[in-house]
Every structure is written in C-alpha cells, then in structure tokens.
Structure 1
Amino acid sequence: MTEKQAAVVRLRQVRKVYGTGPAAVTALDGVTIDFPAGSFTAVMGPSGSGKSTLLQMAAGLDHPTAGEVSIGGVRLAELSETRLTRFRRDRLGFVFQSFNLLPFLDAELNVALPLLLAGRRPGRAAVTAALAAVGLADRLRHRPAELSGGQQQRVALARALVTGPDVLFADEPTGALDSATGRQVLALLRKAADEHGQTIVLVTHDPVAAGYADRVVFLRDGRVVGDLVDPTPVAVADRMTALEAGPGGVGEAGPMRAGEAESR
C-alpha cells in the first residue's frame, strides 16, 4: 500500500444510537470504512441515511455508541475532551453549509481565528496566502456582510485550510451557493487533495459535487451499501435513484467504476 493509499481515517464497526428504549434511533449501524490519505471521498445517501452522523463520528465531533474511530493512528476514544478538542483544532479542518463567520471580524481575522484560539501568533503571510488560494487576496478587510455568499464560503474554506489540516471534513458546503460558485468551492477542495495531499471527506446530496471526488460511498439506513470509483454525475445520479427506490437497488452491488455503472 502506497503512502497515498494508506488510510488516515478509519472507522471500525461504528454504531450510533440516539435515545433509549422504544424511542431509540440507530443512525449508524456497524459502519467500517477507510478514507485514504490524500483522497477525496464523497458520502451520499437518501435523507436519514446517516451521512452527517458518519461525518460527525469520523471527525470526533460526537462519540459513537460502539466501535472505534482513529485518525492518523490516534484512537479518538482514548483522548480526553481537552486533548480531543486540541487534536481537532490542530489536525482537522471543517467547512459546513452555514459559513459560521464572526460578523464583526474582517476576512483576515476570521481566517486567523483558529491560530489565535490555538495560542499561535498568526503570521500575516500565511493568512494572506490562504485567502489568496481561494481567490480573495483583495478582500482582507471586508467583513462578512460585505461579501457574497460564495465569498463567505471561500473565507470559511481558507479558515479551514490555514492550519494545514491532515483531513478536511465538509458537510454540504455548496448547499447554499449557486451552481457556478459551488463549482469554484469544489475545485478548491479538489486542489487541496491533488496539490497539498489533504484528505477530503465531503457529505453531499448533489451528484455534480460528488463528481469531483475520487470515490463516492453510499449509505442507506445507517449502513454502507456500496461505493463508486472515478464517479461521474450521471453514474452517481443513477446509483442514488436505485438507492432511493429501496432494497435491491444497484447500491447493493458494491464497488464499481463509473464507466461500468453507465454501461449497465
């Protein structure tokens, strides 16, 4: 296994149950999956399939009911809450559909915030470079209200990347954007994997967004039911249609390449 193929994020038999007794809801049901270093993986599935729960477990944002999650060989369950918080801050990046920018800070300070919270003096060159990488070098002094939605999401992406995270988790980051702006954000995520070797885990409902990934993992009812390598939007849409049709769809067939899916 090459360095690029080595798994940086591992989930083993992860279960997540919310509530107890008759009201208990199983969001994840024994998920085992690897996310290779330097890869770009999209996670898809029907509504309620467990996509966002999978991301929360993989990123250490919530604790599984059972099973094990490790990142870079570190078992998250063995970390105290303080150490886990520090680990997420130092090693991971997050981008969500809501931009979560502080409205009273300009773009430069919003990007520098993770470094400030870590007690590190943010070098202006690093912050400027992060904003330049997302095409916003000329927006340093603009506050969120002075930026478009797409620009705000790119500031959020620069903030996630400024610490040089090993893994970047993105939950529907283009959901609030128009298609053209969404493509810009997805291209930046693709670049982070290709040029900087960062591992990208993207939760999305959009086949076009999934088409930027190396692989799409499909969930249904809290379980992994297949994946698609080298996806195209058409192949992803066909797979999702089958999944939403219920048990027995093509999602049960396991991994295949996009070309194979389209030829069937």
Structure 2
Amino acid sequence: MDVVQLNNAHKRYGSGDNTVTALDAVTVGFAVGTFTAVMGPSGSGKSTLLQCAAGLDRLTSGSVTVAGIDLGGLSETELTLLRRDRIGFVFQAFNLLSALTAEQNVALPLRLAGRRPKRGEVHAVLESVGLAGRARHRPAELSGGQQQRVAIARALVTRPEVLFADEPTGALDSTTGREVLRLLRTLVDQHRQTIIMVTHDPVAAAYADRVVFLADGRVADELRAPTAHSVAERMTGLELGAPC
C-alpha cells in the first residue's frame, strides 16, 4: 500500500511567458515501510516534489494523498495539523533550539500540539537514534551527527506516517553522514518507517530500496536495489541528456 501517492501532478510557477513548470504530469507512489531516494539534475523538480508531497506547497493540478487523505481538499489549518501529526521532516540544517536540551528539542512538537510529553516516550525515541545518554546535552555540546540524530528523533516523536528528508547528510562529513544513513536504514528495516529522501549523493541513495530519477519535472527513470555505481551511471546519463 502506498502511504504517499502523486497522480498526474503538475506544479507551475508564474504565468504567461514567465511560467516555469516544476512538475509535469508526475505519477509516483511510495509504499509503506520503504526507503526511497529522489534524485535528478539541478532544476529537475525533486525539491518541489518533496514540498508538494509533504503538504508544504500545493499542486497546480493533479492530486497528492498522504495516508489516504487528499491534500488538495484540506484548508491551510487542516494541512498544518496533518503535517504536525502525520508527517516528519528532517533537513540539511538541524534547526535545533540552542537553549534547549536534546530531550527538550525532541519533545517540542508534542508541546506545540498541546500535549504534555511523557518522559518515557521522549527517551524511547532518543534511544532509538542512539542518544539515550545525551538527553540533557544542548546542541553546542553535541557533534554534527548527534545533532542530526536529535533532529531525526524530533521528527519521529509524533510517530509520523512518513518521514521526508531533504539532503539530511549535506552538512555532515562522509563518515558521520554514513552513520546517519545507517540510522535511516535501520528505521525502515526494524520499525517499518516510510522515508522519502531528496539527495544529490549516489552513496546516500544506495542506502535506499529504490531511487526515483526526475528530469525536467518528469519521472525519467527508476532503479531498484541501487548501488552507488549504478546510481552515478544513471545520473550521468540524465545530466548528459542521454536516455536511461
């Protein structure tokens, strides 16, 4: 079953001669408990796809559903509630509050939702990302990789249907980045978490079950059981304009 589905999705910016088509008749699904990487040359539409699939931006036409809910029929307030309760986000920038401890940063989405966090649930999420012993540390006392793990824990604390990750290792060195990618892989394998990750890195994409390639706003190709080498080959073909 697809937890996220885009059907004939179009996204255009501007009007008249200044119209830019970011998504052009995209139809793609993302199954429950899978890890998908979205790749493509600069300007291919991958970030727009993530934003529209996550309800951060609206399609011009077509549809996107998350957990069976058609986002096109939701008001802005309803979209906000859906993102808060059913969708998790991890970005290149960790976006942690420097004055708060790791456990306080993780608990923040629950507090913003009007819930009093149970200490046990916050610690359980920190433990799942390997930071049980860092709960009372502030961001300045944590490495970059540990800060990204806190950001992942914060995204997971609401038990989202899907976790969207936009270049989650972009600000990390290669060794630390691989640690974060192994964590994402573990969340899929052991907890059936659905992850959709935008990346430009073939090594990062190789941790996914599937890679969806975009070019000029369209789905250009798809690769199952990817390796860094096979992903790099497909990306080279797209960037040179060669058929995949």
TM-score normalized with structure 1 length? 0.90
Structure 1 unaligned residues grouped into runs of 5+: 1-5, 251-264
Find out whether 1:67 has 2:44 as its counterpart: no
Match of 2:42 in 1: 47
C-alpha displacement at 1:220, in angstroms? 0.4
Find out whether 1:84 has 2:79 as its counterpart: yes
Paired with 1:77 and 1:249, the residues of 2 have a C-alpha distance of 33
Match of 2:243 in 1: 249
C-alpha displacement at 1:169, in angstroms? 0.3
Match of 2:223 in 1: 228
Q: Secondary structure at the match of 1:104?
A: coil
Deviation by residue 1:52-106 (Cα, 9 ceiling, x = unmatched): 1000011111101111000111101111111111111111100000111111111
Match of 2:24 in 1: 29
Structure 2 unaligned residues grouped into runs of 5+: none
AA in 2 matched with 1:118: A
AA in 2 matched with 1:163: T
Match of 2:146 in 1: 151
CA RMSD across the alignment: 0.9
Match of 1:261 in 2: none
Q: 1:1-264 to 2 correspondence within 5 Å? A: 6-246=1-241, 248-250=242-244
Q: Secondary structure at the match of 2:114?
A: coil
Paired with 1:103 and 1:22, the residues of 2 have a C-alpha distance of 45
AA in 1 matched with 2:74: L
Match of 1:3 in 2: none
Q: Count residues in correspondence.
A: 244
AA in 2 matched with 1:154: R
Deviation by residue 1:201-224 (Cα, 9 ceiling, x = unmatched): 010000111001110000001100
After superposing on structure 2, the runs of 4+ consecutive aligned residues of structure 1 that deviate more than 6 Å are none
Q: Secondary structure at the match of 1:105?
A: coil
C-alpha displacement at 1:114, in angstroms? 0.7
Identity %: 68
Paired with 1:135 and 1:200, the residues of 2 have a C-alpha distance of 19
Deviates more, 1:135-144 or 1:203-212: 135-144
Paired with 1:102 and 1:19, the residues of 2 have a C-alpha distance of 35
C-alpha displacement at 1:249, in angstroms? 2.5
Deviates more, 1:16-25 or 1:50-59: 16-25
Q: Secondary structure at the match of 1:108?
A: helix
Deviates more, 1:137-146 or 1:6-15: 137-146
Paired with 2:72 and 2:86, the residues of 1 have a C-alpha distance of 16
AA in 1 matched with 2:31: P
Deviation by residue 1:216-255 (Cα, 9 ceiling, x = unmatched): 0000011001100010111000110111001x332xxxxx
Paired with 2:99 and 2:15, the residues of 1 have a C-alpha distance of 42
C-alpha displacement at 1:184, in angstroms? 1.1
Bigger relative contact order, structure 1 or 2 (CA pairs below 8 A, ≥6 apart): 2
Paired with 1:178 and 1:237, the residues of 2 have a C-alpha distance of 19
C-alpha displacement at 1:143, in angstroms? 1.4
